């Protein structure tokens, strides 16, 4: 049976090594690239992200990846965004200044308030009958972020609670965003990533 090919976008903004290690442990075929021809071969493209939204969008534009990702989404070819990568899937972010995003999932990214940062372990509450994430309910995942998704409820799959409730999994078709780091969340993170990749590839 053919191994699924997962290509991680290399755009100078991601914590790529831990994602590669996690995916290889799950027995996926993994590549790292910013080459559109390589990305087009992928069963799933992963957009990681550590850093600031404006810098990340500039890197994507500089690599001519914005148009490709928008076209890939229109064709409903799977994309998973992780942490900052999730936020880039939206229409824009108010981090530092307003910056337009990829526009793949309606909604915007706004700063957390009181407290202004969420670091540590937290659980998911599923808002929809989503079989992909149901197995991960009540398990803990690692978060490290100061901004959150704000958008229509139809795109919110899971929420988490830290002083206030915020969306922790968002999605539109085969475009999925995770506000947490599954690759840093030990066994629960590996399980969720495995289920998510298989789920969106078979949907």
Note the pLDDT tens digit of each residue in 165-187: 999 999 999 999 999 999 999 99
Note the pLDDT tens digit of each residue in 73-107: 999 999 999 999 999 999 999 999 999 999 999 99
**Confidence band of 1 (pLDDT split at 50, 70, 90):** low
Alpha-carbon dihedral angle through residues 149, 38, 10, 101, given to the nearest 10 degrees: -30
Output the average pLDDT for the chain: 92
| Phi then psi dihedrals of residue 66, to 5 deg | -65, -50
Domains along the sequence of the chain with CATH:
5-202 (3.40.50.880)
pTM over 0.85: yes
Which candidate, 39, 46, 40, 50, places its Cα nearest to that of 24?
Answer: 46
Cα–Cα dist 55/147, whole Å: 15
pLDDT above 80 for 68: yes
**Kind and range of the H or E run holding 56:** helix 53-62
Active site amino acids: 83, 181, 183
pLDDT above 90 for 22: yes
Cα–Cα dist 108/148, whole Å: 8
**Confidence band of 202 (pLDDT split at 50, 70, 90):** confident
Cα–Cα dist 165/98, whole Å: 23
State the first-to-last Cα distance of the chain, in angstroms, to the nearest integer: 18
Cα–Cα dist 135/195, whole Å: 9
pLDDT above 90 for 141: yes
Mean pLDDT, residues 132-156: 89
């Amino acid at each position: 049976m053919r191994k699924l090919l997962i290509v991680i976008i290399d755009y100078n903004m991601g914590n790529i090594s831990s994602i590669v290690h996690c995916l290889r442990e799950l027995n996926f075929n993994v590549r790292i690239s910013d080459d559109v021809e390589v990305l087009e071969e992928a069963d799933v493209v992963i957009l990681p992200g550590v850093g600031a939204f404006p810098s990340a969008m500039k890197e994507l534009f500089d690599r001519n990846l914005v148009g490709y990702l928008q076209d890939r989404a229109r064709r409903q070819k799977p994309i998973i965004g992780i942490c900052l990568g999730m936020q880039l899937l939206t229409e824009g972010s108010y981090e530092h200044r307003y910056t337009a995003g990829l526009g793949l999932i309606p909604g915007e990214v706004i700063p957390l308030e009181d407290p202004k940062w969420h670091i540590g372990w937290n659980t998911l509450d599923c808002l929809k009958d989503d079989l992909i994430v149901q197995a991960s309910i009540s398990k803990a995942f690692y978060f490290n972020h100061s901004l959150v998704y704000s958008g229509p409820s139809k795109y919110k799959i899971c929420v988490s609670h830290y002083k206030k409730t915020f969306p922790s999994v968002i999605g539109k078709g085969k475009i999925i965003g995770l506000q947490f780091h599954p690759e840093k969340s030990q066994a629960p993170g590996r399980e969720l990533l495995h289920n998510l990749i298989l789920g969106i590839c078979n949907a």
